[in-house]
Amino acid sequence: MSRIVALETTDVRFPTSLSLDGSDAMNPDPDYSAAYVVIRTDAADAGHAFVFTIGRGNDVQVAAIDALAGHLVGRELEPLLDDMGGTFREIIGDSQLRWLGPEKGVMHMAIGAVINALWDIKAKRAGLPLWQLLARMTPEEIVDLVDFRYLTNALTREDALEILRAAVPGRAEREQELLASGYPGYTTSPGWLGYSDEKLERLAREALGDGFTQIKLKVGADLEDDIRRFRKAREVVGPDFPIAIDANQRWEVSEAIAWVNALAEFRPAWVEEPTSPDDVLGHAEIARGIAPIRVATGEHAQNRVIFKQLLQADAIGVMQIDAVRVAGVNENIANLLLAAKFGIPVCPHAGGVGLCEAVQHLSMFDFVAVTGTREGRLIEFVDHLHEHFVVPTDIRGGSYMAPTAPGAGMEMKAESIATYTWTGAHVVA
């Protein structure tokens, strides 16, 4: 048996506000940051993960991860890895820490970081990338990872088993398809609000040349400006090329309906985060008011319960999971199963710091072991900060090539951590 000997956290921040990378109507000057965690063992194992933030408050997120040290340091590692469903339920069930949510916010994301770091160790020990490790589990093993509490009026254990068993035939062939051709992506790189028209046009042309089949524009600050920018993007990519829009929670419900309908002549592929991520009924009202344009949301959905309600209310046409917003791999498997039950495609949120590297594993697992299809599904790609990761995303012809390196893909280079550490490493041992 090996033991966990330390949980190390670091406040890592990149000054992206200087170039306005990531700027949108709600977040005009983000500094992309990572509350970074490493779980170390006496067998020289190391599991790496992080929570993505946009600057101030990253220290608060680090403190929340530190608060989980008592659940890990000194524990034997193998029992935790052998029962990741039980490990997830144990940590999520700490009643005193749960009170800070419950199951939402800074503490919930901290739990996701340590769960993801454990998955990183488990995948590295198996010698497999995370997507392949998950996709080779039996339906029963996958279902054992999920906490079905609060879900059973929409998704039962039996429902999940039926979905997973139906996807068992063809798993090996789909693995090979992924390794050969990858998973389709779309890019947000042209669309940041802080960019000039010239930069928007140049990046849109580059997206076409790189083989992407969709781009996304940020909207919501000024309608006339959005119309002008959308028109310029259309002039570059043509009348039929899919362009999604993203309001980043800027609007009231009625405002969202009016604004999106004012942009309808440009045929948006979807509108993302049109209002508060917690307003399930508001999203449903918007969906009715802008149909057939689809509503997409989820990068700020607090937990599986919000996703359940969005699906039950017919409030979304696209689900956008985030690798680090909910409580890690386990809860995102629940989200993927919910989407499969309701027949809604999942197009994950990515970009930021390392989100592309992390979330690709979940989409690829979904293709192999859950839905069996990539049709209508895309992973967001933003060409920022990949050079800081040990295994950066590999984009070819607008697709994510399937990673083959063991692990969850969230390990950052030591020199990058050292260069961009904000306050220094904290070690709880």
Query: What are the residue numbers of the active site?
Result: 218, 349
| Three state DSSP letters for 99-124 | CCCCCCHHHHHHHHHHHHHHHHHHHH
Helix (H) / strand (E) containing 10: strand 4-13
Contact indicator for 330, 365 with CB cutoff of 8 Å: no
Report how far residue 375's alpha carbon sits from residue 296's, in angstroms, rounded to the nearest whole number.
16
Q: Does residue 237 come out as left (phi exceeding 0), alpha (psi in the -120 to 50 range) or beta?
A: alpha
The full length of the chain comes to 429
> Which residues, at least 6 apart from 10, have a Cβ–Cβ distance to it below 8 Å?
36, 62, 417, 421, 424, 425, 426
d(CA 273, CA 283): 9
Q: How many CA atoms lie within 13 A of 93 on its CB side?
A: 8
Give DSSP secondary structure letters for 76-93: BHHHHHHTHHHHHHHHHT
Q: What are phi and psi of 392, to 5 degrees?
A: -70, 160
225 touches 24 (CB < 8 A): no
